[in-house]
Amino acid sequence: MHEHRKVCFMSDRQKGVIPALDAIWPNHHTRFCGRHILQNLMSTFKVEYLRELFWLATRSSDLTDFVKAMAEIKEISKPAHQYLLKIPLEYWTVYAFDTITKTNHNTNNVVEAFNGWLNKYRAQPLLTMMENEFEVVDGTRQFVVKLDDRTCQCGIWTVFGIPCEHDMACITRMRQNVEDYVHEYLKKPAYLKTYSNAIHAIPNESLWHEVEHRTVLPPLKRRRSGRPRLSRRRGVIEPARVKRSMGFRCSKCQEVGHNSRTCKAPVQGLRTEV
In tens, the pLDDT along 204-247 reads 988 888 888 888 888 888 888 888 888 888 777 777 776 655 56
For residues 12-27, average pLDDT: 73
Residue type, 146: K
Residues 175 and 98 in one domain: no
Q: Is residue 131 part of a domain?
A: yes
Per residue in 49-90, pLDDT (tens digit) is: 888 888 888 888 888 888 998 999 888 889 888 988 888 888
Per residue in 183-206, pLDDT (tens digit) is: 999 999 999 998 898 888 888 988
Q: Is residue 261 part of a domain?
A: no
With 50 as the cut, is the pLDDT of residue 120 above it?
A: yes
Domain boundary among 114, 142, 158: 114
Domain boundary among 114, 143, 159: 114
Q: Is residue 215 part of a domain?
A: no
> According to the model, what pLDDT value does residue 272 have?
43
Domain boundary among 55, 84, 114: 114
Total of domains in the chain = 2
Q: Is residue 247 part of a domain?
A: no
Residues 68 and 165 in one domain: no
Residues 84 and 16 in one domain: yes
Which domain, by its residues, includes 148? 126-189
Residues 63 and 140 in one domain: no
Q: Is residue 224 part of a domain?
A: no
Q: Is residue 201 part of a domain?
A: no
